[in-house]
Amino acid sequence: MRRLLAAAVVVLSLGCGRDLLDPVMTVDGQWNGLQNGYSVALNMVQTGTDVAGSATIAGVAGIGDGILVGTFVYPDLKVKITIEGLDPVEYTGTMSTSVAKISGKLNGSGFNNLQMDVSKR
């Protein structure tokens, strides 16, 4: 039930029709993406160049909740997502200079350069 609720929250948050925010210089906050049959929610806190937080990845195979750690040196983000029972997933991306969006890719645990852009809402 918890996973179904989490999936609903992710999908509903992605469905909001609000415009993208103006460009940002940090990754603090909630970032969501829906692309290639997967949805990703990253909740990140940045301290200096260190990033920590939580992540949810949902797809046809199910939903995984985990933690993330990594670095953000503008404009490049690199985090490792650890979900219990799965191999680590890396998310690497580049922050847009025009809107609050990160263009990135997922690798590991079955993902191979899967394009996944996330936006701050």
Cα–Cα distance between 20 and 100 in angstroms, integer? 6
What residue spans define the domains of the chain? 2-120
pLDDT of residue 4 exceeding 50: no
pLDDT digits (tens, 9 = 90+) for 64-80: 999 999 999 999 999 99
pLDDT of residue 37 exceeding 90: yes
Cα–Cα distance between 49 and 92 in angstroms, integer? 14
Q: How many CB atoms lie within 10 A of CB 68?
A: 21
What secondary structure letter does DSSP report for 48?
T
**What kind of fold does domain 2-120 have according to CATH?**
Lipocalin (2.40.128)
pTM for the model stands at 0.82
Closest residue by Cα to residue 40 from 69, 65, 71, 70: 65
Cα–Cα distance between 97 and 87 in angstroms, integer? 32
